[in-house]
Amino acid sequence: MPCNIGFVSTRFAGTDGVSLESAKWARILWDHQHVSHWYAGKLDRDPATSMLVPEAYFYDRENVWINERAFGTRRRTPEMTRRIYGVADYLKGTLYDFVEAFSIDILIVENALCLPMHIPLGVALANFISETEIPTIAHHHDFYWERARFSVNAVGDFLTMAFPPKLESIQHVTINTFAQDNLSWREGASSVLVPNVLDFEHPPTEEEMADTAFRERIGLEPEDIMLLQPTRVVPRKGIEHSIALVAQLKDPRCKLVVSHESGDEGQDYQHALTELAEHSGVDLRFVHAQMAPPEGGDANGGSAGATLAEVYAAADLITYPSLYEGFGNALLEAFYYRKPVLVNRYSIFISDIEPKGFKVVTMDGFLTRNVLDHVRKVISDEQYRREMVDYNYELSKAFFSYSVLRRKLRSLITNFTGMDDL
């Protein structure tokens, strides 16, 4: 029986992992007649199926005030406590309105019950779910204990209460085995492991991959070698390693392109990268491409627009030197668009991806001569590169395709409805 699904988060907009993965979930659900609706503080979904609540955005002025006083100290004032509860009560009311307006049967909470970017929203959700016992899937991409900036805080009681809450009507979903294990031993909560996925059953078209318009738009010459880092500009993405790679390759044809916007942590990192690139003699370009999810958009999946294909089609090598990732969407995108990739062996890659046998250039926190030689071979040897990317695509189809997500969602929805709806 079709259900009305209510997705809830601080933001469903842009190319961050939460926005992209939620759109994929909505697409699979829509294929089986489950209608998705959206609640967030920032939205690029269809307004007809959405509820925009600006106070739920993590950059809302009141939430910024709270966050500035919640972390880096162990004591809070009565005023701060009052304001957290005040915003939480208001947001709880909007959640009631959202569920009533769209006759929501099942909530899917995306990262708002694990990462305390918006403490009042987490508290509001915990109270709302407790009061209504609404069936809820809590999709956890990052936990607060994984981030050093949340380790010293004055909101331990709220973190215990809502990040995540321990309620019978919640099914927890984690995206990697480390998170699954930590949730179990820290909170005594079981979870279903659902990796990030892409639609490997439907590869990009030859026309998409032959498109050179993007290279022309950003001023690249036909002989240039485009190294693409398809990540947001935040420190944990390790973009300085990509700059060092281009500098050490000593090939004037090599250009480094970073395709996503600056993240949620200010502009200082981007300014530092620009100075580093200038000092190192590296051609670095921030293009801030506004890209929709790979599957495009509709009323349930997100806004229509350009796909990731035009940026990936232009690239000769993908750099992915992240220091930490909850999973690694950009890595899957590199496999999907059949591009060779350099990966810094972050922990989730080591535990959940590398054992599958993918063929990539790997580094362990720093560049070595062997890494540089391997990159040069990948760039120069077309047959070697083709064998590498084709193998990675087929392996991804087996482990990270929509069929995997479909099986996982079938189990989660059936647990609530008692019917095999997917």
Say how far apart CA 338 and CA 330 lie, in whole Å: 12
Query: Domain-by-domain residue ranges, the chain?
Result: 4-197+402-417, 206-399
Say how far apart CA 243 and CA 274 lie, in whole Å: 10
Whole-prediction pTM:
0.85
In the structure encoding, which two tokens stand for residue 182, read together?
């930590």
pLDDT tens digits for range 47-84: 999 999 999 999 999 999 999 999 999 999 999 999 99
Half-sphere exposure of 413 (CA within 13 A, CB side): 25
pLDDT tens digits for range 119-131: 999 999 999 999 9
* CATH code linked to domain 206-399: 3.40.50.2000
In the structure encoding, which two tokens stand for residue 310, read together?
């035009």
Residue range 4-197+402-417 in CATH 3.40.50.970 = no
Cβ pair 267, 297 in contact under 8 A: no
Look at phi and psi of residue 357 and say left if phi exceeds 0, alpha if psi is from -120 to 50, else beta. Answer: left
Helices (runs of H) and strands (runs of E) counted in the chain: 16, 15
Q: Is the peptide bond before 230 cis (omega within 30 degrees of 0)?
A: no
Q: Which residues pair with 4 in a beta bridge?
A: 35
- pLDDT for 217 equals 85
Cβ pair 44, 14 in contact under 8 A: yes
Closest CA to 18 of 196, 182, 164: 196
206-399 and 4-197+402-417 share a CATH fold: yes
- pLDDT for 25 equals 97
Look at phi and psi of residue 245 and say left if phi exceeds 0, alpha if psi is from -120 to 50, else beta. Answer: alpha
**Among all chains, which residue has been given the structure tokens 């990732």?**
325
Given a cut of 70, the residues of the chain with pLDDT beneath it are 262-266, 288-307, 420-422
